């Protein structure tokens, strides 16, 4: 009898596995099987499937080490799992089987983790809480997509057996949000942070100022925010972050293990500042507020001393709000600043950043001046960018400037997917999902040593983007590919395998209420309901 049962059970699980292969949307007659251990984005560094799956049940506990941060990651996981499973999932430091989050020495680095899954439980091990957090994101993807819903779902909640060992390729896996062209509220930014965290993105770069808006309160220059926060592209009401708002964003990001990198774009892209304070203009006349989308027409007055008082005040106040190591000073498209003035300006401003204990980041035009020691340059050229410009950046890289790769015709999330994409721009070309994924940051910039590349970052400029649904439609699915370029070993890079893993994200996004672009390049399962 026992034997018979076991045979039946075996047959049952074989059946489950069999139906699982064709998870193409036709409602399965049986509950979904466990997700294969390697169906994760970004692809883990190594996956060894095997052994029995673990099943989360009403008795599962989430056991954590007795550390505040480990407990917080445990509570975060519980908050993901409770609504859909309907289970209590107490977070405990003693006893209780099931899911375990352990901090331990090991070959994990600052962000890596190991996941062991078997009949008795799932254990995540990491050297740092960030690793546990990233491991939790992997665990989410191993559970059925319905786990992301906010109402009780039937389950069962199986995690395939085996081991994942995972560490990132790059320490810089960023996303930039332009809150200047259109303003986004603290809640909208938090929503994006949660989405970035799903894919182990660890930097949130906020483009806080531009011609169309100044979005951060600066006490010593209050009109920046109150006057120049007051509108946006198209003439809408705009807005700005108070210091408390901004600190709330920083705190929330850090609870998701993202570092916020604030950018004040200078010396161009500064109409917002120039409009707020007449004295910052060379001719002493404040220009009108600007709500269009042209670039390259504004410049701080490089010859005036007050310019540097202004920059010092802004950088001091911003540095005080920034626990992270970096301040981004822009430096792109300074078409209204002479080359000589640009170099002079950067020579004066970079030491100010260092003086407040921060490391400079600039758009790659900074390499046309003299990047400070330790500075990072963010490359936003195209495949077709001239050899001379690429070589200037590569030479800086050889000289020690770190490079963040944001090639516009690959990972600018504001580029249209196709000519029919209702949002976005196309100056860098049309960027379908495959094009966005199919390149290697390691050998992208000719002549730049691979060791100079710190990672990748996907900017989202918002001339045409004004609500969360717009952000999501442009970011998904491309953002997942950028995350994979930043996290996964080059050896895992393979479009045909990637598109299958990517397709499995579709139902997760649907469960999370993320409206994404259903690219015909990706074999999405049929949509339900
Ligand atoms: C170029 S990329 C810009 C931005 C625009 C963007 C639109 C860069 C550093 N500057 O000012 O918003 O193109 O795609």
The pLDDT value given to residue 335 = 85
Q: How far is the CA of 461 from the centre of ligand 1 (A)?
A: 7
Please tell me the residue having the least CA distance from ligand 1 atom 13.
461
The pLDDT value given to residue 9 = 37
Shared domain for 80 and 123, answered yes or no, is yes
Domain presence at residue 525: no
From 328, 332, 382, mutation site for ligand 1 pocket: most ligand atoms within 8 A of C-beta: 332
DSSP character for 504? T
Map tokens 């509570």 to a residue. Answer: 75
Spatial separation of the C-alpha atoms in residues 357 and 196, rounded to whole Å: 27
Shared domain for 145 and 290, answered yes or no, is no
Spatial separation of the C-alpha atoms in residues 450 and 403, rounded to whole Å: 10
Ligand 1 pocket residue status of 295, Cβ below 6 Å = yes
CATH number, position 359: 3.20.20.80
From 270, 378, 461, mutation site for ligand 1 pocket: most ligand atoms within 8 A of C-beta: 461
Phi, psi of 373 (to 5 degrees): -60, 130
The pLDDT value given to residue 97 = 78
Domain presence at residue 25: no
Please tell me the residue having the least CA distance from ligand 1 atom 11.
295
Shared domain for 206 and 131, answered yes or no, is no
Tokens of 94: 């003693």
With a threshold of 0.95, does the pTM exceed it?
A: no
Domain presence at residue 489: yes
Domain presence at residue 183: yes
Average per-residue pLDDT for the chain? 93
Catalytic residue status for 333:
yes
Residues in CB range of 323: below 8 A, 6 or more apart? 250, 254, 259
pLDDT 10s digits, 322-333: 999 999 999 998
Ligand 1 pocket residue status of 363, Cβ below 6 Å = yes
Residues forming beta bridges with residue 362, ordered by sequence position: 377
Q: How far is the CA of 347 from the centre of ligand 1 (A)?
A: 23
pLDDT reading at 5 higher than 80: no
Spatial separation of the C-alpha atoms in residues 168 and 165, rounded to whole Å: 10
Spatial separation of the C-alpha atoms in residues 144 and 135, rounded to whole Å: 16
Q: Is 347 within 8 Å of 369 (Cβ atoms)?
A: yes
- Closest ligand 1 atom to 459 CA: 2
Q: How confident is the model at residue 529 (pLDDT cuts 50, 70, 90)?
A: low
Tokens of 193: 């942070």
Ligand 1 pocket residue status of 332, Cβ below 6 Å = yes
- Which of 333, 389, 463, 472 is labelled catalytic? 333
- Closest ligand 1 atom to 181 CA: 12
Structural domain ending residue among the three candidates 140, 166, 192: 166
pLDDT reading at 272 higher than 80: yes
The pLDDT value given to residue 3 = 39
Please tell me the residue having the least CA distance from ligand 1 atom 9.
332
pLDDT 10s digits, 364-381: 999 999 999 999 999 999
pLDDT 10s digits, 278-287: 999 999 999 9
Domain presence at residue 340: yes
Structural domain ending residue among the three candidates 136, 166, 196: 166
| Structural domain of 69 | 37-166
Shared domain for 182 and 135, answered yes or no, is no
- Closest ligand 1 atom to 330 CA: 9
Shared domain for 381 and 457, answered yes or no, is yes
- Closest ligand 1 atom to 425 CA: 14
pLDDT 10s digits, 31-70: 457 899 999 999 999 999 999 999 999 999 999 999 999 9
Domain presence at residue 5: no
User: Which region among 17-21, 367-371, 464-468 has the lowest average model confidence (pLDDT)?
Assistant: 17-21
**Domain tally, the chain:** 2
Residues in CB range of 466: below 8 A, 6 or more apart? 182, 234, 236
Q: How confident is the model at residue 230 (pLDDT cuts 50, 70, 90)?
A: confident
The pLDDT value given to residue 1 = 34
Shared domain for 176 and 158, answered yes or no, is no
Ligand 1 pocket residue status of 414, Cβ below 6 Å = yes
The pLDDT value given to residue 227 = 86
CATH number, position 125: 3.30.379.10
pLDDT 10s digits, 514-523: 999 999 999 9
Domain presence at residue 483: yes
Please tell me the residue having the least CA distance from ligand 1 atom 8.
332
Spatial separation of the C-alpha atoms in residues 39 and 14, rounded to whole Å: 19
Shared domain for 133 and 190, answered yes or no, is no
Structural domain ending residue among the three candidates 139, 166, 193: 166
Shared domain for 412 and 492, answered yes or no, is yes
Domain presence at residue 439: yes
- Closest ligand 1 atom to 265 CA: 9
Shared domain for 130 and 226, answered yes or no, is no
**371-399: average pLDDT:** 97
Tokens of 491: 């050896």
Q: How far is the CA of 333 from the centre of ligand 1 (A)?
A: 8
Spatial separation of the C-alpha atoms in residues 470 and 369, rounded to whole Å: 36
Surface-to-core class of residue 396, CB atoms within 10 Å of its CB (0-12 exposed, 13-18 middle, 19+ buried): buried
């Amino acid at each position: 009898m026992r034997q018979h049962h076991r045979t039946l059970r075996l047959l049952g699980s074989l059946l489950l596995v069999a139906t699982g292969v064709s998870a193409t949307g036709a409602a399965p007659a049986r509950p979904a099987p466990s997700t294969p251990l390697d169906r994760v984005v970004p692809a883990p560094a190594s996956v060894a499937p095997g052994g029995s799956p673990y099943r989360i049940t009403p008795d599962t506990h989430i056991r954590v080490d007795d550390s505040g941060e480990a407990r917080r990651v445990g509570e975060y996981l519980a908050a993901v799992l409770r609504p859909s499973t309907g289970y209590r999932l107490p977070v405990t430091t003693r006893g209780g089987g099931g899911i375990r989050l352990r901090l331990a020495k090991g070959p994990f680095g600052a962000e890596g983790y190991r996941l062991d899954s078997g009949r008795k439980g799932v254990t995540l091990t990491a050297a740092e809480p960030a690793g546990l957090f990233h491991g939790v994101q992997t665990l989410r993807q191993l559970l059925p997509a319905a786990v992301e819903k906010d109402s009780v779902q039937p389950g069962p909640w199986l995690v395939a057996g085996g081991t994942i060992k995972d560490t990132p390729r790059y320490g810089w896996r960023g996303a930039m949000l332009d809150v200047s062209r259109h303003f986004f509220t603290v809640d909208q930014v938090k929503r994006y942070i949660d989405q970035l965290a799903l894919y182990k993105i660890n930097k949130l770069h906020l483009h806080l100022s531009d011609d169309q808006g100044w979005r951060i309160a600066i006490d010593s220059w209050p009109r920046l925010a109150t006057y120049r926060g007051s509108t946006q592209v198209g003439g809408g009401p705009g807005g700005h972050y108070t210091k408390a708002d901004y600190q709330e964003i920083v705190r929330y990001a850090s609870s998701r293990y993202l570092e916020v990198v604030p950018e004040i774009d200078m010396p161009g892209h500064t109409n917002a500042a120039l409009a707020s304070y007449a004295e910052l203009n060379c001719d002493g006349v404040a220009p009108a507020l600007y709500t269009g989308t042209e670039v390259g027409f504004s410049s701080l007055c490089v010859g005036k001393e007050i310019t540097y008082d202004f920059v010092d005040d802004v950088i001091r106040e911003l540095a005080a709000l920034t626990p992270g190591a970096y301040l981004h000073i822009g430096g792109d498209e300074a078409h209204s600043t002479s080359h000589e003035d640009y170099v002079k300006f950067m020579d004066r401003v970079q030491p100010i950043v260092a003086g407040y204990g921060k490391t400079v980041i600039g758009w790659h035009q900074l390499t046309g001046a003299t990047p400070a020691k330790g500075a990072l340059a963010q490359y936003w050229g195209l495949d077709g960018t001239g050899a001379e410009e690429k070589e200037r950046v590569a030479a800086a890289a050889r000289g020690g400037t770190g490079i963040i790769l944001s090639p516009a015709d690959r990972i600018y999330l504001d580029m249209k997917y196709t000519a029919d994409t209702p949002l976005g721009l196309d100056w860098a070309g049309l960027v379908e999902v495959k094009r966005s994924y199919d390149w290697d940051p390691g050998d992208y910039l000719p002549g730049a040593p691979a060791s100079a590349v710190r990672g990748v970052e996907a900017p989202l400029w918002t001339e045409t983007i004004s609500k969360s649904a717009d952000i999501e439609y442009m970011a998904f699915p491309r953002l997942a590919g950028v995350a994979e370029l930043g996290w996964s070993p080059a050896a895992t890079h393979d479009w045909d395998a990637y598109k299958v893993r990517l397709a499995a994200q579709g139902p997760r996004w649907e469960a999370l209420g993320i409206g994404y672009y259903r690219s015909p390049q990706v074999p999405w399962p049929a949509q339900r309901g």
